[in-house]
């Protein structure tokens, strides 16, 4: 049995392949999301990584914003269900999931075996999401994966008070012009995302273990600031950005019986 899980996000397409024993066989990611060739490119890469062909795949499940437009999928499943399933496969003891993706933030409260008990989501605004970090990385002419390490080198974080991405962008530029150290500005950017996420998360009871999923989980600066706000350790897996795709593959296995 081979199950392919495809997560078509706002910025990135992620896919994974699992076997009937729920073992992860291969993963692939392309930074191109809904409305692009990203899903097809990610799937082609996945098949190559796994040395397999479309004919060998038994079940295909899609999740993410683009899930309804993915014609290869037999199942389309919500991101909430998939992040719950994927997280509990990675961390069976997880009770809170903080998922920060390219466009939205979701906090999930889980019961045993990844049962979804409750959730909250951000409003439709880029602040506090991966999009905010992408815009800031662009201004600073850095790669997205440089933000976390730079923030970790700062002794203090500059205060970014604007809650709107557009205003925060001018604030960052003004701070740089005023001579604030670049790493301190970056630490302030990470802190701004963490503070927004923490205030959303506090609408739910935060129960350990707390796990971060989504692409922003790869940013150590945001993770550390969030731990301070929540006063709890935050777990994350190297496959954090694939959590939705993992959940989709797991759903497919279950559906196929
Ligand atoms: P979506 O599903 O909406 O496309 P993802 O969960 O894939 O979102 O997360 C995408 C976000 O993750 C990007 O907007 C970016 O800010 C962040 N990101 C991606 N790669 C990295 C990385 N290597 N280091 C830090 N952050 C990253």
- Residue 29 zone, left/alpha/beta (φ > 0; ψ -120 to 50; rest): beta
State the CATH number of the domain containing residue 232: 3.30.420.40
Give the model confidence (pLDDT) of 56-89 as tens digits: 999 999 999 999 999 999 999 999 999 999 999 9
Q: Is there a single domain that holds both residue 172 and residue 99?
A: yes
- 212 and 232 co-located in one domain: yes
Residue 81 and residue 117 share a domain: no
Whether residues 194 and 246 fall in one domain: no
pLDDT by residue for the chain (257 residues), tens only, comes to 999 999 999 999 999 999 999 999 999 999 999 999 999 999 999 999 999 999 999 999 999 999 999 999 999 999 999 999 999 999 999 999 999 999 999 999 999 988 999 999 987 778 889 999 999 999 999 999 999 999 999 999 999 988 788 888 899 999 999 999 999 999 999 999 999 999 999 999 999 999 999 999 999 999 999 999 999 999 999 999 999 999 999 999 999 98
Task: Please tell me whether residues 197 and 213 are part of one structural domain.
Answer: yes
77 and 100 within one domain: no
Q: Which of 216, 222, 239, 246 to mutate to test the pocket of ligand 1 (most atoms within 8 A of CB)?
A: 216
Å from CA of 179 to ligand 1 middle:
29
Domain identity same for 130 and 203: yes
Q: Are 158 and 183 in a shared domain?
A: yes
Within this chain, do residues 31 and 130 fall inside the same structural domain, yes or no?
Answer: no
Q: Domain check: are 231 and 244 in the same one?
A: no
Total structural domains in the chain? 2
CA distance 99 to 105: 6
What is the residue range of 24's domain? 1-91+239-257
Q: What is the pLDDT of residues 142-156, one digit of tens each?
A: 999 999 999 999 999
What are the C-alpha distances in Å from 20 to residues 50, 54, 58, 75, 257? Answer: 15, 17, 10, 17, 10
Same domain, 108 and 220: yes
133 Cα nearest atom in ligand 1: 16
């Amino acid at each position: 049995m081979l199950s392919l899980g495809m997560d078509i996000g706002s910025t990135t397409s992620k896919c994974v392949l699992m076997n009937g024993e729920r073992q992860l066989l291969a993963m692939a990611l392309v930074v191109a999301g809904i409305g692009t060739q990203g899903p097809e490119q990610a799937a082609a890469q996945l098949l190559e990584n796994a040395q397999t062909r479309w004919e060998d795949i038994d079940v295909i499940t899609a999740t993410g914003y683009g899930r309804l437009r993915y014609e290869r999928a037999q199942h389309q499943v919500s991101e909430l269900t998939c992040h719950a399933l994927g997280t509990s496969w990675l961390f069976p003891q997880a009770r809170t999931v903080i998922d920060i993706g390219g466009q939205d933030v979701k906090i999930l409260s889980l019961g045993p075996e990844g049962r979804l008990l409750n959730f909250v989501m951000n409003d439709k605004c880029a602040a506090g999401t991966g999009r905010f970090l992408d815009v800031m990385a662009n201004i600073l002419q850095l790669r997205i994966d440089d933000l976390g390490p730079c923030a970790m080198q700062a002794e203090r974080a500059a205060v970014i008070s604007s809650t709107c991405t557009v205003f925060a962008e001018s604030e960052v530029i003004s701070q740089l012009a005023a001579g604030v150290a670049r790493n301190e500005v970056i630490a302030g950017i990470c802190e701004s995302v963490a503070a927004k996420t923490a205030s959303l998360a506090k609408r739910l009871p935060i129960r350990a273990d707390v796990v971060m999923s989504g692409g922003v989980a790869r940013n150590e600066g945001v993770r550390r600031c969030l731990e301070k706000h929540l006063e709890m350790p935050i777990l994350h897996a190297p496959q954090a950005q694939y959590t939705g795709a993992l959940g989709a593959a797991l759903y497919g296995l279950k559906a196929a019986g």
